[in-house]
Structure 1
Amino acid sequence: MRRLLALLLLWTTCSLADPPVLRFSVAESWSMPLMRVEGEQPVEGLLFDLMQAIAREVGARPEYHVLARLRLQQAMDDGDIDVRCYVSAQWFNDRPGHFVWSIPLFHQRDVLVGQPNDSALTRPEQLPQQAIGTVLGYTYTTLAPLFEQGQLRREDSRSQELALQKLHIGRYRHAVSNELSLQWFNHRLPAEQRLQILAVLEEQALGCMVRNDPALPTQGVLRALVRMKESGEIERITRRYGVTGYREGVSAARP
């Protein structure tokens, strides 16, 4: 009888135990439609919805760590985060051996953006010497030679949205943006004020990375992402935020 009661108590205790925690990284440079953060916690956005769905699929409690983009690699090395999403293998000189890659989830373009009255397609090397709007901590592979030559100068902002706001008010004549953020920024403006795409700089496939740790449901997360991709849930999440004309894999900019 005592043995039965002990087993029952153990079963009850395990049933009431907290679910495992999955620690997701959130880059503070993200802006809508990727993520909106209030009080150091994400509250909406397509990546927020994606992370919530991942945690739900594996029965885990999501925990969000908002970090400066330049601190993300150190957080991975220190074991402070378990899942990092919206990332490309091309952003790493050496692929982190303690993380496992998901399938590609998104495709998006990095574009050169101009003022509303700019309509002619422009190659970056055709631009006159000037400052150009960029995001702090991003590396722009296509533009790197022009920065090194001094033809273009970076004017960094802490987020993509802020870089586009500065372009909109005329702080500079051109900026670099991912296509998602540009669409989100433009949809709030009258047609005559919308920023224009002048050139496509680069495009890449993006996915998630999951820490390879026996204490984590690593394979469960990877399988969940396959199911979400194949079922169309990834596409539904992007459309929830009004993203149109968007092909799923993103950016020439890399941390």
Structure 2
Amino acid sequence: MRWVLSLLLLYVGHLPANELPPLRFAIAESWAMPLVRIENNQPVDGIMFDLMTALAARLQRRPEFHVLARLRLQAAMERGSVDIRCFVMPSWLGGQSGNFTWSLPLFEQRDWLVARHPETTPATLSDLPSQTIGTVLGYRYATLQSEFDNAHFARDDARNQQQVLQKLQAGRYHYAVSSQLSLDWFNRSQPPDRRLMPVALLEEQALSCYVRNDPEVPTQSILRELLVMKMSGEIERIVQHHTGRHLGDLNTGNAISQ
């Protein structure tokens, strides 16, 4: 967003020569638009790029982005090579080690079972025939995990959510898992007869950021500014800018049980 970059330049222009250390943000290479667009291994656009850039500007720090494989993100936080990781929840991390502080929930994410054509919603996952499901490499899907464990379903992993949906549209499998944001972004560029359909709601998640507790990192200031951005509606406006949707919007669909 131009206003975010202008704000950042304004702050940076007032920093002394020996400026404060940068804020080092973790970026998952598996993210796709509208979360982030990555070019030459650096984010250049998207919800998370705008949020992180705006946060750094508020703290008069330079943002530094580290694009990493999803499975390397937590290790990077624990060894101190990055300071902030966002769009995540504690249950994803398992046995988290290290000294971190979590923000309040900033985003609501809804994961859907998606198909190319309208399908009858199964009462339970086990009602679906044994088959391959499109997934993102390194993502854990709690609702589907037992079906993967007993081999009722097999994973077909792609590097990011965009590739998962492209493979579904190409007929590589009958179903895939997609977040609401990614599904909306994919469908906006498709003609009506090629748009993918949400079949069943798998999970709703409240996602946050967490920050390293370290003297070099202004942890409490970061958390305070994230709270201000959330309560003032700034995060909501960033999401709307990239999607045209509110955080709480929900496509029609039915919940599915395990």
Q: Give the TM-score, by structure 2 length.
A: 0.87
Partner AA of 1:129 in structure 2: S
What residue number does 1:104 align with? 105
Counterpart Cα distance in 1 of 2:142 and 2:34: 24
Query: Which structure would you say has the larger Rg?
Result: 1
Tell me which residue corresponds to 1:75: 76
5+ residue gaps, structure 1: 1-13, 249-255
Cα-to-partner distance string for 1:7-59 (whole Å, 9 max, x where unaligned):
xxxxxxx9321232111000000000000100010000000000001101111
Residue 197 in structure 1 maps to residue 195 in structure 2: no
SS in 2 for 1:81: coil
Question: What is the aligned length?
Answer: 234
Find the aligned partners of 2:236 and 2:119 in 1 and give their Cα distance: 30
Contact 1:184 1:243 in 2 (8 A): no
Decide whether the 8 Å contact of 2:107 with 2:247 is kept in 1: no
1:121 aligned partner: 121
Letter in 2 for 1:241: H
Q: 1:102, 1:208 within 8 Å by CA — same for their partners in 2?
A: yes
Deviation at 1:98, TM superposition (A): 1.1
Mapped contact 1:112–1:198 kept (Cα < 8 A): yes
Q: Which amino acid aligns with 1:201?
A: L
Tell which has more relative contact order, 1 or 2 (C-alpha 8 A, sep 6+): 1
Partner residue in 1 for 2:29: 28
Q: In structure 2, the residue corresponding to 1:182 is in which secondary structure?
A: helix
Task: Give unmatched runs, 5+ long, in structure 2.
Answer: 1-14, 250-258
C-alpha distance 245-168 of structure 1, shift in aligned 2 (>3 A): farther
Give the deviation of 1:204 after TM superposition: 1.1
Once residues 143 and 181 of structure 2 are traced to their aligned partners in structure 1, the CA distance between those partners, rounded to angstroms, is 19
Q: Is the 8 A contact 1:180 1:243 kept in 2?
A: no
Q: Where in structure 2 are the equivalents of 1:5-154 lying within 5 Å?
A: 15-115=16-116, 117-122=117-122, 123-154=124-155
Find the aligned partners of 2:247 and 2:119 in 1 and give their Cα distance: 21
Normalising by structure 1, what TM-score?
0.88
**In 1, distance between residues paired with 2:151 and 2:64?**
42
> How big is each residue's C-alpha offset from its partner over 1:91-133, in whole Å with a ceiling of 9 and x where there is no partner?
1223444111011100111110011x22432342221111110
Q: Distance in 2 between matches of 1:20 and 1:238?
A: 28
Counterpart CA distance in 2 for 1:78 and 1:246 is 33
